[in-house]
Amino acid sequence: MHIGLRIFFGFFVIVGLAAFLTLRVFVQEVKPGVRQAMEDTLVDTANVLAALAADDMKQGRINDGAFAQRLARLQDTPVDASVWGLRKQSVGYRIYVTDTHGIVRFDTTGSAVGADYSRWNDVYLTLQGKYGARSTRANPDDENSTVMHVAAPIRDPANGQTIGVLTVAKPNLAMAPFIERSQRKILLYGLLLMGVAFAVGLVCTLWLVFGLRRLQRYARTVAAGERAEMPLHGASELAELGRAVETMRLRLEGKQYVEHYIHTLTHEMKSPLAAISGAAELLQEDMPPADRQRFVANIRGQSQRLAQMIRKLLVLAAVEQQQRLDHAERVELLPLLQALVDELEPRARQRGVTFALAPDAEPALAVLGDPFMLRQAVTNLLENALDFAPAGSTVRIDVSGAPAGQIAIQVADDGPGIPDYALPRLFERFYSLPRPDGRDKSTGLGLCFVREVATLHHGDITIRNSDGGGALATLTLPAAS
């Protein structure tokens, strides 16, 4: 099972189980709680009424005295009350009075006068001086017909002796609307709580899963050797984990990067160092001045090649280690290209080559990037074209809008083109093709630098053979908004 589903289901099961148990306890406690509150009210009512009935009971007029008359009028008096939104229109009490032998002497319903209630708990316990109460079904076959009976002793006002028992009875069913409403509210808020818990769990799970997936994509990108930026920021645990992974990656990459560069640099330095060493040994012998001058020029040329290689390698290393642009600004492309053409014009004149900047290039085209890097990248493309362009030819430069909000810089020459075997290796470090007319090869770092700059700017570089001959380099960069 996916980790996101495991986290979500685990969270929801825990919260759901806790909510279910809590709701169950609350719902089960509602009915006993309401009935306990009702019993407490019946106790107070029974004791108050017992005190009011004492005089009539002592005089033997409990069935037709003032107490009975008032209760009779109470039964006929309408009630109009709203108890927390529930309408109440009649008194729900039944009141009966028994003598010291448990015989009913008064009953508001008139149905039990003369009956022997001495064995009912409410009368029996009260006559023994204890708390008397019972809950009895009015219909033995209906469990919802229970009636709560609470009794209080009727005492002689003169000596305090018990002269009878007054019982107040109220059907438990009268409390059913309050119980059901309370249970509905508890269930409603419980379900609402579970819904909120579900939403919170879903949000937390999605946040965690999306964070883990972003870290996963980052790790895979790094493992593939591609440039990637740490996707998580802030002070969360996932961001801390991401920073730890990035620190580990930088240390490992730094070690591997140094080892790789030392290996490639020493390999590339062998040839010029061997040429310098051989020329230096020969210069120790007697030779014609022309030969001596040739060997000195060879040493100077190889030394310059080594210096250029080291300089370009350092610049390339700095670009390769960057994960993102530290400084970006709007760069107008047409002025940049014109400045580079002017700068390389003397060298092109020596080679008999001319630069041609497309006259219909849009002057407002611009990109957002590092001006120095872009300048060096385009310079490398122009120098490559200049190296392979034959005398009397033209290097054509064009800049135009491309699909998807891109800008394309194209540099085309009329040289011999690129051999098929070399096309897949053009962007390899230190790979270089022989120059026409037997001139020395380049350091093989220029196109590699251009590719890194294009990647940093979220662009691309392609080189192919033109249909009419020569090579065509296309540097594509996102247009500045």
User: What number of other Cβ atoms are within 10 A of residue 362's Cβ?
Assistant: 13
Exposed, middle or buried, 455 (CB in 10 Å: 0-12/13-18/19+)? Answer: middle
pLDDT of 323 over the 60 cut: no
229-324, CATH topology level: Helix Hairpins (1.10.287)
pLDDT band at 231 (very low <50, low <70, confident <90, very high): low
Tell me the per-residue pLDDT of 434-443, one tens digit each, with 9 for 90 and over.
Answer: 776 655 556 6
Which of 162 and 250 is assigned the larger pLDDT? 162
The full set of domain ranges for the chain reads 3-181, 229-324, 326-481
- Alpha carbon separation from 268 to 1, 303, 307, 316, 321 (Å, rounded): 52, 13, 12, 15, 21
Strands 394-402 vs 354-357: parallel, antiparallel or unpaired: parallel
| Stretch (H or E) spanning 147 | strand 146-155
Phi, psi angle pair for 156, to nearest 5° = -65, 125
Mean local confidence (pLDDT), 351-369:
82
CA distance 394 to 385: 10
| CA 43/CA 146 separation, integer angstroms | 17
Q: Secondary structure of 237-283 in the HEC alphabet? A: HHHHHHHHHHHHHHHHHHHHHHHHHHHHHHHHHHHHHHHHHHHHHHH
Under the banding of pLDDT at 50, 70 and 90, the label for residue 430 is low
Q: What DSSP string describes 192-222?
A: HHHHHHHHHHHHHHHHHHHHHHHHHHHHHHH
Q: Which of 252-256, 322-326, 378-382 has the lowest mean pLDDT?
A: 252-256
Torsion angle in degrees (nearest 10) through CA of 40, 41, 44, 46: -110
Answer yes or no: is pLDDT of 312 > 70.
Answer: no
Average pLDDT over residues 30-38: 75
Give per-residue pLDDT as tens, 440-463. Answer: 556 667 787 788 888 888 889 999
Among 47-61, 150-164, 177-191, 244-258, the least confident range: 244-258
CATH number given to 326-481: 3.30.565.10
The Cα-based distances of 5 to 15, 194, 256, 355 in angstroms read: 15, 18, 38, 62
Pairing of strands 366-369, 329-332: antiparallel
Is the pLDDT confidence value at 179 over 50? yes
Averaged pLDDT score across all residues of the chain: 78
pLDDT of residue 257: 47
pTM: 0.43
More confident residue, 401 or 31: 401
The widest CA-to-CA distance across the chain, in whole angstroms, is 160
Per mean pLDDT, which range of 47-51, 234-238, 380-384 is the poorest? 234-238
The pLDDT of residue 272:
61
pLDDT digits 0-9 by tens, 7-18: 666 666 776 677
Architecture of the domain whose range is 3-181:
2-Layer Sandwich (3.30)
Per-residue pLDDT, 238? 65
Residue 314 has pLDDT above 90, yes or no: no
Model confidence at 326: pLDDT above 70: no
**For residue 215, is pLDDT > 70?**
yes
Q: Is 124 exposed, middle or buried (0-12, 13-18, 19+ CB in 10 A)?
A: middle
The kind and range of the H/E element at 39 are helix 3-58
Instruction: Give the model confidence (pLDDT) of 244-300 as tens digits.
Output: 666 666 655 544 545 555 555 554 565 566 666 766 777 777 778 777 777 777 777
Mean pLDDT, residues 78-88 taken together:
61
